[in-house]
Structure 1
Amino acid sequence: MRSEEYTDSPRDEQDSSYTESTERHSFITMIKDAKYLTFLFIGIGLLWPWNCILGASQYFKHDVFLDNTLWSKIFASSMMTVSTVSSTLFNIWLAKRQHSYSERVVRGLIWEIIVFIILGILTLLKSWFSLPFIFISIMVLVAISSVATAMTQNGIMAVANVHGPVFSQAVMVGQAVAGVLPSVVLFIISFSSDPSRQSTGGILFYFLTTAAVSIVSIILYRVNQIGAKLVNVSPGSSPSSQVPFSVHYDKLKHLVLSIFTTFVVTLIFPVFASTILVKGLPLANSQFVPFIFTIWNLGDLYGRIIADWPQFRSPKFTPFKVFVYSLLRMLFVPLFFLFSRVNSSEHTSSPMVKDLLYTLLQFLFGLTNGHVISISFMKVPEALTTDEEKEAAGGFTNIFVSAGLTLGSVLSYGCVFIIESYSKVH
């Protein structure tokens, strides 16, 4: 049966609060609904572990691997590679196993709890072990965390596709919230202390917070019986009962290509955010960088919220138009290089204006990222016919998420090389 959550036709009583048109429901109203809040919180839980490890990277490089060691120098790139590659491979594996989606949500969250408890123990006992052992242990835990996140995301997007587009948006908004909070905290910390120095107690708090978010997500998911609506397909089901990739690609090609393109382009953001320095604003560079990260994440959050506006949900805003929208985001790249050129100049006129324009550019880059991603995921269930197709689409779309992030991370190295080469010439 085709999902019609946003037409005037009636739905079952369980979802009656979402039978009206989207324009009648503000974001504040929706987050008061227990089911919507559950999807939102699980969305936070999807990105929180990665942000936690990212936030602790400076601690590991400085306090654990002692800055100048080989392990410190390769930590960040190794963490990124291990995370993206393991996530991509596992998503491909999951997509071929079209069953047990509801259980995957909880299993992934449980593994996140285990990973971060072990990370906490490893942090406390770091003096007991050699640096190679700690490095390998952390990379293994990063891989497990990425696999756990992929498992939860695979399951929750399958569930969201069946429940309706608004719940896909809830997951997307939750991920954006998980991006905003750490960047805001880092920006605030930059005014009171050196953000490169982090205490063991602070890192342990990071890890315990991640475990707590996962625990709360499991409780909400179980209490609200979110997975009860899914089609029950046994693990040993015949291949004929599975939805082929070709069916999904035929119906979703423009949406998944939008997701892929958006993430490839977006991965240049950290490169420019960490290399373009302040010129006129009354901020130190140590404050300007987390400020820009905060601005980008706020734009990302706003873009995901407004994705539910009627004009973007309209059938006239077709998947092909979403794909064109994602391609147009490439125009941001030369603009960033323009500001990088300004950054390398010794004298610039109106430096504060340039800082403000650059800040606006980062906000719009974040906004369009969240906007395209949310619209794409929200239109997935509308493009499919049966619940079986909608459930299996969770794994199919996640392949393009992981592939986009992987290719984007590789291309970001090229951006770093171009920026450094340009700086040497000028």
Structure 2
Amino acid sequence: MERIRKIFERRISYEPLEGGSEGPNGEQIEHPKQHAGAFSWIDYSVFLLLGVAMLWAWNMFLAAAPYFQKRFEADDRLLRNFQSAELSVSTVGNLGSMIVLTKLQARASYPKRIVASLVLNIVVFTLLAISTRIFLGVSPGVYFGFLMVVVFVASLATGLCQNGVFAFVSGFGHEEYTQGIMAGQGIAGVLPCIAQIISVLSVSGNQSSENGAQGSSTSAFAYFLTASAVSAITLVAFVYLLSRNSAKDRLKDSLAPDEDEAGLPLSGGKKSIPLTVLFRKLFWLAAAVFLTFALTMLYPVYTSQIQSVRDPATSSRIYQPATFIPIAFLFWNLGDLTGRMLPAIPKLSLTAYPRTLFILSASRIAFIPLYLLCNLQGKGAKVNSDFFYLFIVQALFGVTNGYIGSNCMMGFVEWVDPEEREAAGGFMSLCLVAGLTVGSFMSFFAAG
């Protein structure tokens, strides 16, 4: 790993500003040092749970796809396009909220944003759970409108959570906490896949065909209630975190009035950091996280279309599309979770090498032609191997996503001044969501 670092490292390195920012005449402005408190596994666990809650909602929408298919089966147009509509509404709403929230830095209360996001998720998914039991006779068009509204509100909640959590955690001074958030996001991708596989295999073939509507409705009810429960548990844990001394000290520092160069306090609370300043300091990391997640959004398109190379008519249920596709999602998410855990090992961390991370993120485009070698839409595979698809393509693509993304989101605090960390956290999460949004529109071309 050290040799790889040296290969990509340039003589003129991308380094943090020493001594802080410069004044109008070029003099160095010294900033008071912020001492990070001792690492706490309790704090880490809460941030891990926040990471789970952040993406659990989105994964619940994916896991409930069979239920939505049953609700829209009477309308072919909605049946074909509801997933693309979910993706577009969610990413656009998420990006729009992130842009607004990033601009509203000066008087931002990041804990309030986190609490608001969790409350919104509880309300949204409770309503979705109720919709699986009542109003079952409404037309597909009416239910589609309801679904788009709740998807949009859930995307706003995700934006609030992403902006608030990454900004809030930056003030603790521990990269491990950010890694905990990224690991939690990985867990949120793994568990729904496992639940979906178990639910498919636990029902016999005859039962699944005869009671498909009832089974999918029951599964969706459980999925949505689980999402509400996860958000409620996370809310309680976060309130507890705010009562701890580590969080109180961090809030005291972030809410302290700013001082001018003469040491006099300024009115108006925290100063707003221009996005151009953050872009200049975090260019390589921002570009790396944007490109990483833009390319990642192509994998769901291929995963939902690639089938096992074995004949589904004669092979076991594991190799049939209803089970094989969730297994493929599971492999990707397990790889993603593994990649998110790797930066916790100091020798495997690349936070000090932004250019290297950008080069690695750009090289992930090589996975796209690898997907085309697999059994896409059952038309035959150039590489006739499920092992190649699951372990080489899916798992490694997931590992690279988790590894590069975690390094980028962990490392940005090293490249900005202490008072810029909160704004930088919001800026990096904005770049992440922008990558997801661009990737979601690119996925339409991949599907075609």
Same fold (TM over 0.5): yes
Residues 23-422 of structure 1 aligned to structure 2 (within 5 Å): 33-62=41-70, 64-98=71-105, 99-127=108-136, 129-163=138-172, 164-193=174-203, 194=208, 198-225=215-242, 227-228=247-248, 229-230=250-251, 231-232=254-255, 238=268, 241-280=271-310, 283-313=319-349, 317-340=352-375, 344-345=379-380, 351=384, 354-360=385-391, 361-386=393-418, 388-417=419-448
Q: 1:311 to 1:73 in 2, by over 3 A?
A: same
Distance apart, 1:162 and its partner CA: 1.4
Whichever residue aligns with residue 378 of structure 1, its letter is M
Q: 1:240 to 1:412 in 2, by over 3 A?
A: same
Gaps of 5+ in 2: 1-15, 18-32, 258-265
Determine the C-alpha separation between the residues in 2 that align with 1:46 and 1:319.
25
Determine the C-alpha separation between the residues in 2 that align with 1:55 and 1:91.
25
Count of aligned pairs between the two proteins: 388
Residues 46 and 153 in structure 1, CA contact (< 8 A), matched pair in contact too:
yes
User: SS of the counterpart of 1:339?
Assistant: coil
Whichever residue aligns with residue 15 of structure 1, its letter is G
Aligned to 1:21: none
Residues 67 and 73 in structure 1, CA contact (< 8 A), matched pair in contact too:
no
User: SS of the counterpart of 1:17?
Assistant: coil
Determine the C-alpha separation between the residues in 2 that align with 1:306 and 1:145.
30
CA RMSD of aligned residues (A): 2.8
Distance apart, 1:218 and its partner CA: 1.1
- The structure carrying a bigger helix percent of its residues is 1
User: SS of the counterpart of 2:39?
Assistant: helix
Determine the C-alpha separation between the residues in 2 that align with 1:158 and 1:402.
15
Distance apart, 1:15 and its partner CA: 3.1
Distance apart, 1:41 and its partner CA: 0.4
User: SS of the counterpart of 1:241?
Assistant: coil
User: SS of the counterpart of 1:344?
Assistant: coil
Q: 1:189 to 1:119 in 2, by over 3 A?
A: closer
Whichever residue aligns with residue 233 of structure 2, its letter is V
Determine the C-alpha separation between the residues in 2 that align with 1:291 and 1:160.
33
Identity rate, percent: 33
Gaps of 5+ in 1: 3-9, 19-32, 418-426
Distance apart, 1:313 and its partner CA: 2.9
Deviations, residues 385-410 of structure 1 (Å, cap 9, x unaligned): 11x31111222112212211111111
Determine the C-alpha separation between the residues in 2 that align with 1:132 and 1:156.
36
Using the size of structure 1 for normalisation, the TM-score is 0.84
Determine the C-alpha separation between the residues in 2 that align with 1:376 and 1:143.
27
Distance apart, 1:17 and its partner CA: 3.5
Residues 9-24 of structure 1 aligned to structure 2 (within 5 Å): 15-17=37-39
Deviations, residues 261-318 of structure 1 (Å, cap 9, x unaligned): 0111111111221222111485223221111111111000000001222123366x51
Determine the C-alpha separation between the residues in 2 that align with 1:237 and 1:128.
57
Distance apart, 1:51 and its partner CA: 1.0
Aligned to 1:420: none
Q: 1:253 to 1:237 in 2, by over 3 A?
A: farther
